[in-house]
Structure 1
Amino acid sequence: MPHTITVHYAQGILQAAQRLGLPVPVELQAASLEPRIPLQRQDAFWEAICTASGDPLLGLRLGAALQVGHLDMVGALLMSCERYGEALEALLEYFPIIAEGSEFQREQDATQVRLVYRPSYAVRREERVEAALASLVHLTRWITGDQVRPQRLALGHAARGEPSRYAEVLQCPVSFDGTESSLSFALADLDVPLIQANALMREHLRALADAQLERLGAQSLAARVQHLLRQHPRWGKERVADQLELSGRHLNRKLADEGTSFKLLREELLHAMAEQLLRENPRLSEVAERLGFSDESAFAKAFRRWSGMTPGQFRQGH
C-alpha cells in the first residue's frame, strides 16, 4: 500500500503556505474528511508551492509555523509526557502516525543524544527535511517552556540560502553538507520536565496511538516488541517471540536487521519504566515486582548498571 501522512500535518503545511500568500491548486488541498493523505498528493503539493515561492528557505519557515495540533494525537501525546526524554521515545515509536515510511532514529553517547531523520520521499527532499526538523525544534521549545533548544541542527545538504538566516529562524547552530540530517541535544535535556505533563492523558493517548499504529501496519518489529514488553515487562524473549509467531532465534535475527536486540530493547524499556515509577514514588519492592525482578536487590543492581546510581540516589536527584 502507498505511504500516507496524517491530514492534520498536511493541513498545517497548507495553512502555513496560505498565510504566506502562496497559490495552492484546489485539487491539492487536503480534504478535511480524509484521515490520511497519500504521499503522492503531498509530493505534488510540495512541488507546487516550492515552484510558486521564490524563498529558498520556504521549508524551514513552513516547519517553524506548525503547531502541536498539526502532529495529530502524537503531538498531544508528546506534550503530556513527564520529561523531554520520554517525549523523544514516544516520537520515535509513533512517528509513522504523522508520516509513514519516514522515521527518526536515536543515537547517544556520554554527552549528547542525536535524532537522525531518515525521510522516505524524494520530491523536494531538502525543503521537506528542513520543514520536519524545524517543526521539531519549534515543538521542543514549546513543550519545555523554552528550556530545551538543540545544541546543533545538521543538514545533509548544502545551505539553500544565507546560512545566517537558518540560525535566525531556528535560534540554534546549523551545519551543512553532512552525511545525514539530525538534531543534537545535551544529555541533561532528557530530564527536563514538560510544562503540560499529564500521566492519565499520556496513557490514554498511548493506547489510542498503539491502536492507530496497528491499523496502519506501520510498526517496526522493535516497536512491536517494546509494546508487548510495556504491557508485560516480565516476559522473556521466547514468550515475546511466540506472541509474534516467531522463534526466539528468528526474532533475534530480525531485530539485528533493525540494528537492535531483544536484550537492548528490554533493558531500555525497563530503565525508562523504572525511572517513571520511581518518580511516582511507589515502594521499591513494588517497582521491583511490577518490572519482574525477583527482589529489591536484583532491581537495585540492574538500575545501577543502567543509570550509574542507586534508586535512592535517583529519587534524591529528582
Structure 2
Amino acid sequence: MFQNPVLSNALNASGNLGVLSAAASGLDGFISSHGGDVDRIFGVSGINPELMCHPTLSLGLGSYCKVLEEAAAQSGCDNFGLYYGQQFKPQALGLLGYIGLCSTTLEEALKNFSAAFPYHQHDTLIRLVDCGECYRFDYRVEHAAIIGKRQDAELTMGMLLNLVRHRLGSTWAPRTVHFEHPRPEHWKDHLRLFDAPVLFNQPCNSMLIPKRDLNGQAMADADPMLLMVMQDALQRLGAHGRQNRDVVEEARGLVRGALLQGEPNLEQIAAGLDLSGAGLQRRLRDQGLSFSALVDGVRRELALHYMRQNLSITDLAPLLGYSETSAFSRAFRRWFDTSPRQWRNRQV
C-alpha cells in the first residue's frame, strides 16, 4: 500500500478555490533549471511560495495559469509547459494522481481520474468520451478571466500521458493529440514527446486513447480502500471550495468581456455578480483593490497577452476598451515605461 504524503493535510485544508497546489509540484526547481527567476515569476503571478509545500492547499487558477505563461516568457523556454509535463509523474499530482494509481485497472484509472478532476481544478471542462474504438479525453480551462492557457494545456496532456505510460511503459503513444492554441515555433518537440500526430487550432485540448491498449491492464498498486479515501478527501476539498466564491476573479472575467463594448461600468459588472455597486466595491476593498485598479489590471494583462500574440498595435485599442490608439499607447507606457512599438522591438 502507498505511503501517502498528502492525506495528513487533506482533512485540515480549507477547501479548493481554484487548483490544488500539487499541480505545481517541483515548479520552483523546474523554473530555476531553465534559467528563470523564481521569485520574480511567482511575484508577478501572485503565487505564495509557501503554498507549494502543501499539496492540498489551493492556488488561484488564474495565478496558476499565469505562472506557467510567465515562466515560459521569462525563461525563454517556449515549450515550458510541455517539458514540465513530460517529467511530471502521477505521484506528484497528489490526491488526483493517487486516485489513478490506486484504481483496479488502467481503464478504471482513466475514468476515475476524469471524474475526480473537477474537484482538483475548478472552472474547467473535463470529460472522457467513449468514441467506439477509443476514449477521448477532453480538457479546457473555461474561467472567463484567464487568457493565457497554452502552457497549462500542454502540461495537462503531459500529465495524462504519464499516467497511461506508468502502466504501459515509456514507448506507449496515443492515437492523436489536439490543442486549442496555434502551432508553436518548436512544434516538432510535441511530435517527439507524444510520438503521435499533434494537431493545433482545434476546438478542444484532447487525447485519443485506443481501448485495445487498455484491455486487461491491471494497475500494479491497486488499493480499493485507499482509492475511496482519496476520492472522498478530494470531493470534500472541491465541494467546500465551491461554497467560497472568488468574487474578484469572477469580476475580472466579466470586465474582460465588457471591454469589447468599451469602458466597463461598475454597476453592470456588479449586477453580473448579483451584487450592488457598493457591495462589489466592499469586496474589492477587502482585497486591497478599487474597481478602476481592477479594470486597469485586466487591461494590462490583456495588453501583454495580445502583444505576445503579435496582434497589430492599432487593433489592440478596441480589444481593451479604448476608443483611440493613443489612449492605449499612453496606458502601455504607464504600465511598462516604454511604447508598444519599442517593447515589441525588444522582443525580437
Q: TM-score by structure 2 length?
A: 0.56
2:142 paired with 1:123? no
Indicate conservation of the 8 Å contact 1:80/1:201, yes or no. yes
Flag structure 1 segments of 5+ consecutive residues without an equivalent.
Answer: 219-318
CA distance in 2, matches of 1:126, 1:176: 11
Counterpart code for 2:222: A
**Partner Cα distance (1:47, 1:99) in 2:** 18
Match of 2:188 in 1: 164
Instruction: Choose the corresponding residue for 1:200, options 225, 234, 240.
Output: 225
In the TM superposition, residue 36 of structure 1 has moved relative to its aligned partner by 0.8
d(CA) in 1 for partners of 2:28, 2:130: 35
**87-96 or 47-56: which moved more?**
47-56
Say whether the 8 Å CA contact 1:3–1:38 is kept in structure 2: yes
Describe the SS at the equivalent of 1:105.
strand
What secondary structure sits across from 2:70 in the alignment?
helix
Q: CA deviation at 1:147?
A: 7.5
Q: Determine whether 1:50 maps to 2:72.
A: yes
Cα RMSD (Å): 2.6
Q: Partner of 1:294 in structure 2?
A: none
* Structure 1 residues 176-235: Cα deviation after superposition (integer angstroms, max 9, x where no partner): 2222210001122343222222223223322323333332348xxxxxxxxxxxxxxxxx
Asked whether the 8 Å contact 2:66–2:148 carries over to 1, the reply is no
For residues 106 and 172 of structure 2, what CA distance do their matches in structure 1 show? 9
Asked if 2 retains the 8 angstrom alpha-carbon contact of 1:81 and 1:199, the reply is yes
2:129 is aligned, of 107, 118, 138, to 107
**1:187 counterpart letter in structure 2:** K
Check the 8 A contact 1:17/1:62 in 2, yes or no.
no
Pairs within 5 Å for 1:13-92: 13-25=27-39, 27=43, 28-31=47-50, 32=53, 35-92=57-114
Contact conserved, 1:47 with 1:123, CA < 8 A, in 2?
no
Corresponding letter in the other structure for 2:49: A
Using the TM superposition, give the Cα deviation of residue 78 of structure 1 relative to its aligned residue in structure 2, in angstroms: 0.5
CA deviation vs aligned residue, 1:130-176 (integer Å, no higher than 9, x gap):
11111211222114444753111111222212332212222333122
Tell me, yes or no, if structure 1 residue 187 matches structure 2 residue 215. no
1:57/1:161 contact within 8 Å kept: no
User: 1:174 is matched by which residue type in structure 2?
Assistant: V
**8 A Cα contact 1:16 1:65, kept in partner:** no
Task: Return closer, same or farther for 1:196/1:147 CA change in 2, 3 Å cut-off.
Answer: farther
Would the aligned equivalents of 2:69 and 2:151 in 1 still touch at CA under 8 Å? no
- C-alpha distance in 1 between matches for 2:19 and 2:171: 30
* 8 A Cα contact 1:145 1:195, kept in partner: no
Residues 228-239 of structure 1 correspond to what in structure 2 (within 5 A)? none
Q: How many angstroms apart in 2 are the aligned matches of 1:98 and 1:15?
A: 23
Map of 1:301-312 to 2, 5 A cutoff?
A: none
Q: Does 1:211 align with 2:211?
A: no
Unaligned runs of 5+ in 2: 1-14, 244-348
Please tell me whether the aligned partners of residues 3 and 101 of structure 1 are also in contact (alpha carbons under 8 angstroms).
Answer: no
* Partners of 1:207 and 1:123 in 2: CA distance: 32
Q: CA deviation at 1:35?
A: 0.9
Contact 2:34 2:75 in 1 (8 A): no
Q: Are residues 87 and 63 of structure 1, via their aligned partners in 2, closer, same or farther at CA, if it must alter by over 3 Å?
A: same
Report deviation, 1:18.
2.5
Question: Which amino acid letter does the alignment assign opposite residue 194 of structure 1?
Answer: M
Q: Which amino acid aligns with 1:97?
A: Y
**Counterpart Cα distance in 1 of 2:235 and 2:181:** 34
Q: 1:30, 1:153 → 2: CA distance?
A: 32
Q: After the TM superposition, which of the residue ranges 126-135 and 203-212 deviates more from structure 2?
A: 203-212
> SS state of the match for residue 153, structure 1?
strand
Per-residue Cα deviation, 1:225-282 (whole angstroms, up to 9, x for no partner): xxxxxxxxxxxxxxxxxxxxxxxxxxxxxxxxxxxxxxxxxxxxxxxxxxxxxxxxxx
CA contact (8 A) 1:64 1:134 kept: yes
Shift of 1:115: 0.7
Shift of 1:43: 4.1
Paired residues, number: 218
* Deviation at residue 16 of structure 1 after TM alignment: 2.2
- Distance in 2 (CA, whole Å) between partners of 1:201 and 1:3 is 24
Kindly tell me: are residues 181 and 44 of structure 1, through their superposed partners in 2, closer, same or farther at Cα, counting changes over 3 Å?
closer
Paired with 1:127 and 1:213, the residues of 2 have a C-alpha distance of: 23
